[in-house]
Amino acid sequence: MKINTGRGTIPLITLIGIWSISALTSLPGLAVSPILGQLSTIFPDATELDIQMLSSLPSLLIIPFILLAGKLAEKRDFVRLLRAGLWMFAASGVLYLFSTKMWQLVAVSALLGIGAGLIIPLSTGLISRYFTGTYRVKQFGYSSAITNVTLVVATAVTGYLAEVNWHLPFVVYLLPLASIILTIHLKNEHTDGEVESTPSPNVAVPVIPGKYGIHVRHLLQLMLFYGLTTYIVLIVTFNLPFLMEAHHFSSGNSGMMISLFFLAIMAPGFFLGHVVKLLKEKTKFYSLLCIALGLALIWISPKEWLIIPGCLLVGLGYGVIQPLIYDKTVDTAIPQKTTMALAFVMAMNYLAVLLCPFIVDFFQFLFHTHSQEFPFIFNLCVTVLALLWAYYRKKDFLFDDKM
């Protein structure tokens, strides 16, 4: 079976290989989450810093290695670089299973961060290299959906495995072995970084101003907007459990809400093209409006029947924005620099993850409040400002989504 790319066709097995790499990008740090509460018992001599390092070190290392991978992709063999990252990722999974000391777990976490950092920009870089036009938009949507489906399923699986044995959740880090096998079908698909197919005469080659091969102003706009929206929606995963605890809901309920949030992020990926055709230059405006309504519902009521649609609305809004940001990023650079541009944008996701708790703490300190509702009120205000930005600048490059 052949898949249309907009500039030719590729085998279905090649597309499955690309999808398998997209599935891996949500895994770093996932296996540690269900055992964090047990670590002080498993390793009684471990300090609080050791435990924090185990959970945060992968994210810290992912950021510089995302940028390094983007740079190396300009001149190195793309598939060989991808395989190097996949082997590091898989090796961390094996080493985790045999680690019996805290320092060993921390060291393996560093290897995991390096491997994940190398493959994350290449996962979207592959889509930009193979697909163009509406086909590219759809594939970024599918990639986002696959990433979030994997996140939800893997979270449930690791939680179950952690109850059996604390080593077992690390089995999920062996999934790159399947992707390594599938990369065989990526071989010889590129020549000088381009897909071996006949370009469509209707595909326009963008003219990029400046000497760097990247439209710097447009890229900075995308980075700012992506980092901002990611920070806004992260409040659901970081602060909803505390809000629900204040409302005397069980931890199981908050876990269900967060799962619904990730499922909602997944959903728009399957029909992203239809959404953009319908909403056009107002796509991001309506997506932000969706996020604002969701945050408002979570804030105004301690009732579960309002928190559920709130989580769904926030997830749906972000699920539209994320793949569109990736698609827009491709248009900011010449083909040789596309992966580098995507690396800068994707690094903002992990930067937002690292900074979100500190931003919330800073503004709570500034406003002298420890209310569990405050993070949602503050992020709602930020979303409203972003809404005004999106509405009044809807004709700008950042917001002008058309198919």
Beta bridge partners of 2: 11
Alpha helix stretches (DSSP H) within 210-303 = 216-246, 251-266, 272-279, 283-300
pLDDT category of residue 37 using cuts at 50, 70 and 90:
confident
Average pLDDT, the chain: 87
Q: Average the pLDDT over 176-201 and give the result.
A: 64
> Does the pLDDT at position 163 exceed 80?
yes
Place 283 in a pLDDT band, splitting at 50, 70 and 90: very high
Third-level CATH fold of 216-392:
Growth Hormone; Chain: A; (1.20.1250)
Average pLDDT of span 101-122: 93
What is the structure's pLDDT at 210? 61
| Phi then psi dihedrals of residue 204, to 5 deg | -85, 140
Report domain extents, the chain. Answer: 2-195, 216-392
| For residue 42, pLDDT beyond 90 | no
pLDDT tens-digit readout, 217-254: 999 999 999 999 999 999 998 888 888 878 777 655 77
pLDDT surpasses 80 at 190: no
pLDDT surpassing 80 at residue 192: no
Which positions ≥6 away from 140 have C-beta within 8 Å?
A: 124, 127, 269, 272, 323, 324, 326, 327
Q: 135-139, 175-179, 197-201: lowest mean pLDDT where?
A: 197-201
Residue 34 sits at the vertex; the CA angle it makes with 29 and 35, to the nearest 5 degrees, is 95
Residue 53 has a pLDDT of: 83
Asked if the model's pLDDT at residue 203 lies above 60, the reply is no
Q: Do 2-195 and 216-392 show the same overall fold?
A: yes
Q: What is the pLDDT of residue 250?
A: 63
Query: What fold, for 2-195?
Result: Growth Hormone; Chain: A; (1.20.1250)
What's the confidence (pLDDT) of residue 362?
93
Residues 349-400 pLDDT 10s = 999 988 998 999 999 999 998 888 999 999 999 999 999 999 998 889 888 8
Report which secondary-structure segment, H or E, holds 195: strand 194-195
Average pLDDT over residues 159-179: 91
Query: How far is Cα 326 from Cα 358, in angstroms, rounded to an integer?
Result: 26
Amino acid 211: pLDDT: 64
Percent of the residues in the chain that have a pLDDT greater than 90, as a whole number: 54
